[in-house]
């Protein structure tokens, strides 16, 4: 398996993370052999959403954000959902966790509204990314370049726009996680 021995963190917010953007990337990296840890704001069950407003499934949080470090992982997945991404970016420990992956040159996959965390972590200067269209101005204001493509890869950072892009996004994050550290990833951290 391509990701055998790799440890990947995936973020989840209570009542806000977009279910397919959480479930499908998690399944993809697990199918490739990675061990995945679900990281949330607190322990317990986290309910997801579909289309931001409709109830989704419930998922168990393996570790609270205060219990983890980027040192523990080989890569990070940040799902979207405007409610979930907003809750995550409002938490300083989560923002610091995200920034640490860039400082350590580790690959990160981000979809939909997830780039709000990258804006908050101040890691977008000089990067080319995509996102849900309403995040475009925030990305540009944070020093990034925004393009409307299914999947954008920028030195270990993989971004996509929405759930329709999940097949391409999932394939690319597996590829980038397999490659491992990207020295250029740390250029904006």
CB 49 within 8 A of CB 107: no
- Residue tagged active-site, from 82, 112, 170, 182: 112
Residue 12 has which token pair?
């989840």
CA-wise closest residue to 114 among 186, 50, 48, 162: 162
**Residue 113 annotated among the catalytic residues of the structure:** yes
H or E element in which residue 105 lies = none
Say which residues have a Cβ less than 8 Å from residue 31's Cβ, sequence separation at least 6.
Answer: none
**Residue 51 annotated among the catalytic residues of the structure:** no
Q: What letter does residue 52 receive in the DSSP assignment?
A: T
| Dist. CA 115–CA 159, nearest whole Å | 8
List the catalytic residues.
Answer: 112-113
């Amino acid at each position: 398996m391509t990701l055998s021995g790799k440890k990947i963190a995936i973020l989840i917010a209570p009542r806000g993370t977009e279910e397919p953007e959480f479930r499908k990337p998690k399944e993809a990296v697990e199918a490739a052999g990675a061990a995945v840890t679900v990281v949330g704001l607190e322990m317990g069950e986290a309910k997801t959403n579909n289309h931001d407003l409709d109830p989704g499934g419930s998922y168990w949080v393996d570790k609270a954000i205060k219990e983890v470090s980027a040192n523990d992982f080989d890569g990070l997945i940040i799902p979207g959902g405007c409610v979930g991404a907003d809750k995550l970016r409002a938490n300083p420990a989560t923002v610091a966790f995200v920034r640490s992956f860039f400082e350590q040159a580790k690959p990160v996959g981000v979809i939909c509204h997830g780039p709000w965390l990258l804006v908050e972590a101040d890691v977008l200067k000089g990067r080319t990314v995509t996102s849900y269209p309403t995040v475009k101005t925030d990305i540009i204001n944070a020093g990034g370049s925004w393009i409307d493509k299914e999947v954008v890869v920028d030195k270990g950072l993989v971004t996509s726009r929405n759930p329709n892009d999940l097949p391409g996004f999932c394939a690319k994050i597996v590829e980038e996680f397999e490659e491992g550290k990207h020295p250029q990833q740390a250029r904006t951290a």
